[in-house]
Every structure is written in C-alpha cells, then in structure tokens.
Amino acid sequence: MARNMKQAMIIDAALEVFREKGYANARMADIARRAGVSYGLVYHYFGSKEVLFDIIVESWWNDLYAMMEREIASDAPTRDKLVHIIAFFLDTYGSKPNLMSIFVSEVCRSSVYHTKEGLSRFLKFFNLCEQIMLQGQESGFLSKEIPPHHLTYIFYGAIETFISVMVLGKEPMTKKRHERAMNAILRVFTDGASSRAH
Amino acid sequence: MARNMKQAMIIDAALEVFREKGYANARMADIARRAGVSYGLVYHYFGSKEVLFDIIVESWWNDLYAMMEREIASDAPTRDKLVHIIAFFLDTYGSKPNLMSIFVSEVCRSSVYHTKEGLSRFLKFFNLCEQIMLQGQESGFLSKEIPPHHLTYIFYGAIETFISVMVLGKEPMTKKRHERAMNAILRVFTDGASSRAH
Amino acid sequence: MARNMKQAMIIDAALEVFREKGYANARMADIARRAGVSYGLVYHYFGSKEVLFDIIVESWWNDLYAMMEREIASDAPTRDKLVHIIAFFLDTYGSKPNLMSIFVSEVCRSSVYHTKEGLSRFLKFFNLCEQIMLQGQESGFLSKEIPPHHLTYIFYGAIETFISVMVLGKEPMTKKRHERAMNAILRVFTDGASSRAH
Amino acid sequence: MARNMKQAMIIDAALEVFREKGYANARMADIARRAGVSYGLVYHYFGSKEVLFDIIVESWWNDLYAMMEREIASDAPTRDKLVHIIAFFLDTYGSKPNLMSIFVSEVCRSSVYHTKEGLSRFLKFFNLCEQIMLQGQESGFLSKEIPPHHLTYIFYGAIETFISVMVLGKEPMTKKRHERAMNAILRVFTDGASSRAH
DNA sequence: GATGAATGAGAGTTCATTCAT
DNA sequence: TATGAATGAACTCTCATTCAT
C-alpha cells in the first residue's frame, strides 16, 4: 500500500514536528521534509495543517474513549478499572511517546482552551471518567462523600502530571517506572498520602 | 502615575488577549486596541511580544515561589502548608482569573515544553513542593512509603485540574467553590478516596 | 529554465532598484513589482534582502578577483596588466551599468565601512592590486621609490572616480569615452600630469 | 552659552553615530543618548534627521569650497595649490576624523547618488578643482594634452582613496603619514609612477 | 499520485516625528 | 528651553495554501 505508507510517513513526521515545536510553530514544510515527501503531497492527503493535527488528535481521543467505554461496560471491580485507565496512559506513553507528548503539551491545553471541539472532547472524557467514579461509589469502593467529578479531577490530574514529567524529562518508559507510577497514583488516590493510612 | 497607568492598562489588555487567543494567536494590535493605546506604545514599554508575555509570566512565578518559600520556612504543620498552597491557587484564580487561565493553558504547557526557561521554572516549583512533602514525611504527617516527588505530582496535578476546569467553565470563584475544592483535594490527598477512609 | 528565468528577473529588478534608491531605501516590494513576481517569490529564492544584495555583490567581487588573479599569473608586461584592469572596470560599466553603479555608490563605501565582510573583500582587492604594482617594480617598469600600496591607492582611486562620474552623469559607455578614460588614467599614472613629461 | 553648548554636543554625537552606523542606520535616539540630551531637544534644535545631517555635511562643503576658492584666487604656483588641497583633506582627517569618515563613506556616495543637492555639491567641487587644473595648464605646469576634468578625477581619486584607507584602518594621523601621503600623491600625479620619471 | 514554484495576507517590529507638560 | 511619552506609517519576513505540470 504505497498510499498508506506515505500517509503513515507524513503522520509520523507530523507527530515528531508537532511534539518538537508545538502546533503554532510547526511548519508544514518541516513536516514534509521530515516525511521525505513534497509538501504538495501533505495537502493532497490532509488538506490543511489543522486537519492533519485533528486527525492525530482524533485518533487519540477515539482510542481513549473506546478504552473508557470498555471499562464502563465491564463488570470488573472499580479498582481494576482505575488500574486499566492508568495503564492505558502509561502504555501509550511507552508505545507512542510523541503522541502522548502532543497530548499533554498541546491538546489538553491550547486546543482545549481555544477551540470548541477541543473543549467538548475534554468534557466527554471527564464525563466518562465520572461514570466510573460513580460506579465505584455505588459498588461501595469509593467514598460517597466526595462528588464524582471531584474524584475525576484528582485522579486524572495525577495521571497527567506523571505523564507530563516523563515527557519533560524525555524519560523512556520502563517496567519499573510503570510500576512505581501505578502504585503511587493508586495508593494515594485510594488510601491517601497520610501516614495514618495502612 | 500616567506612565504606570498606561503600562498597567497594557498589561491588563495583554492578560485578556493572551487568555482569549493564546500566545500564538494573540496579536499585538489587539492588545494595543484593547488597552486603548497606540501600537507603538506597547513596544515603547515592553519591547516585544515575547517580553510582554514574559513579564506577565515572571510575575506569576515569582509570586508562586515567594509563597512556597514562606511555607517552607514556616513551622506550621504540613497540613496547613498544603492548605495555604491550595488557597494560593484558588485565591489567585479568584483575583486574577486571566493570569491563572494563561498559566494553565499556556505557561505550564507550551512555554514549559518549548523553552528552557519555562522548563527550569516549572522544575523549580516542583522542587519547592517536594521540600514541603519531605517536611511532611519527616514530621510524621505523610507516609514515607511514597517518594516525595510522587506526592508532589499527585498534589499539584489535583490543584491544576481543579483550576483548569474552572477556567474552562469560566466559573467565577465563590466561597462555596473554594471550600469544596479545598476539601476535596485535601481529603483525597491525605486520606484517599476509598470508602474505608474515615 | 523557468526557475532560472524568474531568478534572473528578480536579480535584474534588484539591480535596478538598489541602484535607484540605494540599499537602505530599496523596498522588497519594489523589487518584486519590478520583476513582475509576487512578493513571496523573492523570499522563496533569496531568503532576505541582505542575501539578495550579497549575491549581487559577491558575483561582482568574484569576477573582479578572478580577473586580478589572471593578471597576476600572466607574464604580460605590467603596462598591459594595468590596461586590462582599467578595461575591466570600463567594460563592466558598459555591460552592467547597474552593477557598477551599485558598486561605487553602495558596496565600496557603506558595505565596506559597516560590515566585516565588506571590509575584508575590499582589502583583498587592494592586496591583489599591490601584487601587480610589486611585479611592475620588479620588472623595472614602476619606480621603486613609491610603496606599492600607495601606487595601488592612486591607480584605483583614478579608476573609481572615472566610473563614479560616469555613473553620476548616467553616461552610456562609448568607444570614445572608453579610450579617453583609458588614456588619461594610464598616461597620468605612468608619466604624470606635469608638462615636463614627454 | 548653554544653547550653543548643547547644540555642539548634539552635533558631536551625531558625527560619531553617523560615522559608526551610517546615515540610514543611525537612530535619532542614539544621537540624543550619546549627546546626553532628551531626543525632543534634538528636534527642537535641528528639526529632523535630514536637517541634522545636512548641517554637518554643509559645514564640510562650505569649508571645502572656501579653501578651493582661496586657492583659485591665490597667485601661488599650481604645485603649491595642489599641496594645499591635499593638506586640507589630510588635516581635516587629523582634526575631525568623524567628519572625514562620514564624508568618504556617506556623503560622497549615497548622498551624492540619491539626492539632487548631493550631486550638485559634488559637481561644484569638481568644477572648482577643474579651474585649478586649468590654471596649472595655463601656467605651463600641467600638460595640456589631458583635459582638466580628467586631471581632476585622478587627483581627487588619489586623495579620496588615501583618506578612505586611513578611515578604514582607523589610523590616527601622524606627521609621517601626512608626509608620505602628500609625497606619494604629488609625486605620482605630477611625474608618474614610471621608473623613467626623474 | 506527486512535485515544488508561486502567491499574498498577515504579523511583528522599527523609528522619525509630534506634542502636552 | 527641555522632556520623553505617544503615535502610526512603513517595512521586512513568514508560511499556509494553491495550482500548473
């Protein structure tokens, strides 16, 4: 599939360039050069810079939503669901660091703050997350004293910051890092950081 | 005073425009028009778009560092220090929502990912936060099982997400919101979200 | 060919505009308009106003150096070498009056005084000229009483002023003018203006 | 005379700045700063950048014309007149190097090529010079075989190039340099560079 | 499909000049 | 006389996008 190959090369190049420079400073010429194609071809396939960015971003959101919906539908214990969500972020960082980097540095900020679509995508994710928190409260695993959207903020904030720090440090994902991040987030989120927690 | 007044008007206009459009899409002409001054005056006082942005950002970081250092030096219980830090973010959102909005949407992301200065400022803040976590562990308030930098990520991630959501919803700060956010963050961070926590 | 043609048209337009207005007052928009191309194309090919100017200037210096080096290497009598050098300037004025005009009004002054490269290019030419004067002294044609760099200044000064006056008067080069300038420079430089000279 | 003092300080500052940067790149703010006055004052006294430059340039031309007219009116031998003219340039370089530098790098080029006034001033000087050459021919000192305007070009070209080289090398004027330049110009102009000249 | 020359609107920046004080 | 805040036209340069080949 020559077609798919070139498209894929452009996407990969775009991931790199968007990560390095950010959306605003990424130039279509850079992406074309990095992909080793003429920059007419980028337009041939993707129409515009915005569309190219959106395709990348959309694939991310769709994967995320799919995962979240799987978890919501599943009848696993809430604790496992939280584990799966954390793992999804950590694994994606491991397999597609560029994508994850773009997500934390561009998507979940600029795009969210300055476009309608960005905002609604973000809110949709929070909504899905909230459902899981609600399931947790109903199953008796999570305390009902804290509103589920607040639980969402704290849970998601923890994941995002862990990912951000790895992105900033360009740290490669390792088994150890994965395990430590997972443990820390899960432990503090469920039992708290206080020394009283057993 | 006239001098300081116009400067202040430009800064205020810049805060608005940067918040609305983001750094990349903010136009100096917009800022000048919004401030009700001529195009050239913005340059007369601030030299360039970058400098103007930096002045705004720098004032934020300096305030933040000052607060953190006060807390580190203080001999209040760690729990109070955490309260003060959370309050600092919530209060700043209340008094300077534009600044806070710029912080979460631009500074702590694009600027941090794409400039050396941005990165080092961010890391400095994390470092200060870590010191407080360490104090908390030493005083016996926080569990020593979790590394202090991990505690930092979770604590800060929670604050940032609460602020982000308020920014996105353009929610005005109220006493109630302040209290709820404070309680949720503090409660989950120290005791966890699990229903076993009392 | 289309590519080279447009480039050539831009260069020609630049030669005209730089000559008419001088480097500082030449506008890129003028050059583009004169060349009959879009604004952006000038940048597409030449990157910046400075580069565009430099390319023009560099071609001149390179031609000049090449000629000088040919003369130095040649075993013709010094008198012939001087004839060739004078002819080079006069002929270039005839075939590329814009280039020559830019040279005397911009390059050999502003550029030389205000940029490192300009200075070193000028000195390099003087150095080559000095070598020819030295050859003339060694062959017995030129008096050894006058230092070769002084001979250079007088010889070159004469040529430059003749060219300058032609540029100022926008005089087209004719055979007669060529001959008269050649004779006057050669005659005075070798035998002097005194009536005692035979 | 406070008035004259500040004016003089501005003129001096302008001489420096115009020399360092050239007319086009000299900024009024630079001149004011260098002079230690506000830049409103520069306008108060001189009206515009162009006027300021013109005043400087005009004083030069007037001194030059006055000298030339003195020489034309004098009944000294032509040789002495040539000596005086050369000395005028060398002495002015010694006493006012900035002025001389501006003259060779800006006035006798850009200004001459791009303004009507510049051109006419230059031609007037050439005209005066020609009269002296004519006197020399009539007195039998200079050969009648070479048109007086050609003699002018060669004579003036020699002086200008000597001055230019000193300006470029920022060489301070010394007695020795003065003498050598004088001798070289005079010797070659009258007797030629050929070894046959006695 | 594929190229890259060509376009031009748009943005940042400069700086001579004005004018209220 | 003296200041420097204020103005805005003018200019360079960028880069997403189009289109002929």
**C116 burial type by CB count under 10 A (0-12 exposed, 13-18 middle, 19+ buried):** exposed
Task: Single out the residue of B1, B20, B40, B34 nearest to residue B97, CA to CA.
Answer: B20
Mean pLDDT over residues C10-23, rounded? Answer: 96
Over 90: is that where the pLDDT of C128 sits?
Answer: yes
Whether residue D108 contacts residue D21, with contact meaning beta carbons closer than 8 Å, is answered with no
Report CA torsion sign: C49, C53, C56, C62: negative
Chain D span 118-147 residues with beta carbon within 7 Å of strand E = none
Expressed in angstroms, the distance from the first to the final Cα of chain B is 56
Determine the Cα–Cα distance for residues B44 and B58; give it in Å rounded to an integer: 19
% of chain B surpassing 70 pLDDT:
97
What is the distance between the terminal CA atoms of chain C, rounded to a whole angstrom? 56
Binding partners of B (≥3 Cβ pairs within 8 A): A
Is the domain of B14 the same as that of B93?
no
Q: What is the pLDDT of residue D108?
A: 83
Whether residue C129 has pLDDT greater than 80 = yes
| Contact at CB, C21 and D114, closer than 8 angstroms | yes
pLDDT of residue D197: 63
* pLDDT band at residue B108 under the 50/70/90 scheme: confident
Out of B159, B167, B197, name the one closest to residue A192 (CB): B197
In angstroms, how far is CA D43 from the centroid of its own chain? 27
Query: Which tens digits make up the pLDDT trace of C79-90?
Result: 999 999 999 999
pLDDT score of C3: 61
Read off the pLDDT of each residue in A64-73 and give the average, rounded to a whole number: 98
CA distances from D150 to C113, C159, C183, D157 (A): 27, 11, 10, 10
For residues C2 and C29, is the Cβ–Cβ distance under 8 A?
no
In a domain, D198, yes or no: no
Judge A/B contact: 3 or more CB pairs < 8 A: yes
Query: In a 10 Å sphere around its CB, with 0-12 CB exposed, 13-18 middle and 19+ buried, how is residue C79 labelled?
Result: middle
CA of D36 to C1' of E21 (A): 21
Geometric angle at alpha carbon B74, from B68 and B78, rounded to 5°: 80
Which window residues (162-181, chain B) lie with Cβ within 7 Å of strand E? Answer: none
- Within a domain: residue C11? yes
Nearest Cα neighbor of D188 from C128, C148, C79 is C148
D184 φψ region: left (φ > 0), alpha (ψ -120 to 50), beta (else)? alpha
Residues of B with CB below 8 A from A140's CB?
A: 195
* pLDDT bucket at D1, cuts 50 / 70 / 90: very low
Query: Is the residue at A89 inside a domain?
Result: yes
Which residues of chain C neighbour D16 with C-beta distances below 8 Å? none
> Cα(D19)–Cα(D56) distance, rounded to whole angstroms?
12
Q: Are residues B71 and B42 in the same domain?
A: no
User: For chain D, which chains pass the contact test of at least 3 CB pairs under 8 Å?
Assistant: C
CATH number at C88 reads: 1.10.357.10
If you average pLDDT over each of A101-110, A113-122, B73-82, which comes out highest?
B73-82
CB contact under 8 A, C180 and D150: yes
Q: Which residues touch strand F (CB under 7 A)?
A: A 25-29, 39-40, 43, 48-50; B 2-3, 6, 37-41, 43-45; C 25-29, 39-40, 43-44, 47-50; D 2-3, 6, 37-41, 43-44
- Shared domain for C38 and C68, answered yes or no, is no
A109:B110 CB<8 A: yes
Verify that D41 and D66 share a domain, yes or no: no
- pLDDT band for position B118 (50/70/90)? confident
DSSP annotation string for chain A: -HHHHHHHHHHHHHHHHHHHHHHHH--HHHHHHHHTS-HHHHHHHHSSHHHHHHHHHHHHHHHHHHHHHHHHH--S-HHHHHHHHHHHHHHHHHH-HHHHHHIIIIIIIIIHHH-HHHHHHHHHHHHHHHHHHHHHHHTTSB-TTS-HHHHHHHHHHHHHHHHHHHHHTTPPP-HHHHHHHHHHHHHHHHH-SBTT--
Q: What is the DSSP letter of D142?
A: B
Same domain, B99 and B174: yes
Q: Do chains C and B touch (3 or more CB pairs under 8 A)?
A: no
* Nearest CA-CA partner of C110 in C50, C195, C181: C50
A26 and A59, same domain (yes or no): no
CB atoms within 10 A of CB C31: 24
For residue D173, the 8-state DSSP code is P
Do D95 and D128 lie in a common domain?
A: yes
With residue B112 as reference, give the H or E element that holds it: helix B112-114
In this prediction, residues A118-136 reach a mean pLDDT of 96
Pairwise CB contact (< 8 Å): A188 & B154: yes
Question: Which residues, 6 or more positions from B126, have their beta carbon under 8 angstroms from its beta carbon?
Answer: A165, B149, B152, B156
Q: Are residues B58 and B155 in the same domain?
A: yes
Q: Nearest nucleotide (C1') to the CA of residue B29?
A: E11
Residue D151 lies in a domain: yes
In a domain, D26, yes or no: yes
Amino acid found at A155: F
DSSP state of B48: S
Chain B's closest residue to A189, CA to CA, is B192
For an interface test with C, give the residue of D150, D182, D186, D187 to mutate (most C CBs within 10 A).
D150
Question: Closest approach of chain D CAs to the CA of C171, in angstroms?
Answer: 14
Chain D residue numbers touching C167 (CB-CB < 8 A): 113
CA–CA separation, C185 vs B65, rounded Å?
Answer: 76
- Does B98 reside within a domain? yes
Please tell me whether any atom of strand E lies within 7 Å of the Cβ of B191: no
C66 and C107 share one domain: yes
Q: Which amino acid is at A17?
A: V
Contact D188 C191 (CB under 8 A): no
Chain C nearest-CA residue for D197: C191
pLDDT at A63 over 50: yes
Binding partners of A (≥3 Cβ pairs within 8 A): B
Nearest Cα to Cα of residue A77 among A150, A132, A146, A127 = A132
| End-to-end C-alpha distance for chain A, whole angstroms | 56
Q: What is the tens place of the pLDDT at every residue in C94-109?
A: 999 999 999 999 888 7
Q: Could you give the CA distance from residue D110 to residue D132 in angstroms, rounded to a whole number?
A: 27
Question: What is the rounded (10 degree) CA torsion for B191, B195, B196, B197?
Answer: 20
Q: Could you tell me if residue B198 is inside a domain?
A: no
Report chain F positions within 7 A of protein CB atoms. 1-20
* pLDDT of B117: 86
> Do B154 and A193 lie within an 8 Å CB cutoff?
yes
Q: In this model, does residue A1 exceed pLDDT 50?
A: no
Do B79 and B144 sit in the same domain of this protein? yes
Q: What proportion of chain D, given as a percentage, has pLDDT over 90? A: 88
- Closest residue by Cα to residue D164 from D93, D86, D115: D93
Give CA separation, D77 vs A182, B56, D26, D88, D145, in Å: 103, 75, 43, 17, 20
Please tell me whether residue C172 adopts helix, strand or coil conformation: coil
Q: Are residues C31 and C97 in the same domain?
A: no
The number of domains in chain B is 2
Which protein residue lies nearest to nucleotide F18, measured between its Cα and the C1' atom?
A40
pLDDT of residue A33: 96
| Residues of C whose CB is below 8 A from D110 | 22, 24, 105-106, 109-110
Q: How many CB pairs under 8 A join A and B?
A: 188
Task: Provide the angle, in degrees to the nearest 10, between the axes of the packed helices B28-35 and B2-25.
Answer: 140
Mean of the per-residue pLDDT values of chain B: 94
Cβ contacts of C132 on chain D, cutoff 8 Å = none
Helices (H), chain D: 2-25, 28-35, 39-46, 49-73, 78-95, 97-102, 112-114, 116-138, 148-168, 175-191
Looking at B112-121, C1-10, C122-131, which range is the least confident one? C1-10
At CA A65, angle to CA A60 and CA A70, rounded to 5?
Answer: 130
Is the model's pLDDT at A9 over the cut of 90? Answer: yes
Q: How far apart are the first and last CA of chain D?
A: 56
Q: Within 13 Å of residue C165, how many CA atoms lie on the same side as its CB?
A: 20
Q: Note the pLDDT of residue D107.
A: 86
Residues of D in contact with C151 (CB under 8 A): 184, 188, 193
What pLDDT is recorded for position C1? Answer: 44
* Same domain, yes or no: A89 and A147: yes
Q: Is A198 a member of any domain? A: no
CATH of the domain at D12: 1.10.10.60
Q: Provide the β-strand partners of residue B142.
A: A194
From the CA of A66, how many Å to the C1' of E16?
A: 62
CA distance to A160, B81, C156, D94, D156, per residue, from D159 (Å) = 75, 80, 11, 14, 5
User: In whole angstroms, what is the distance from residue A39 CA to residue A193 CA?
Assistant: 52
pLDDT digits (tens, 9 = 90+) for D84-142: 999 999 999 999 999 999 999 988 877 888 888 888 999 999 999 999 999 999 999 99
pLDDT at C198 over 70: no
Burial of D41 (0-12, 13-18, 19+ CB in 10 A): middle
**In the structure, what pLDDT confidence band is assigned to residue C2 with cuts at 50, 70 and 90?**
low
- Domain interval for residue A10: 1-47
The distance (Å) linking the CA of D55 with the C1' of F1 is 21
CA D151 to chain C, closest CA, distance in angstroms equals 7
Closest to D194 measured CA to CA, from C198, C27, B124? C198
Q: How confident is the model at residue B197 (pLDDT cuts 50, 70, 90)?
A: low
Of B161, B190, B196, the CB nearest to A193: B190
B161 and A159: CB-CB below 8 Å?
no
Q: How confident is the model at residue D33 (pLDDT cuts 50, 70, 90)?
A: very high
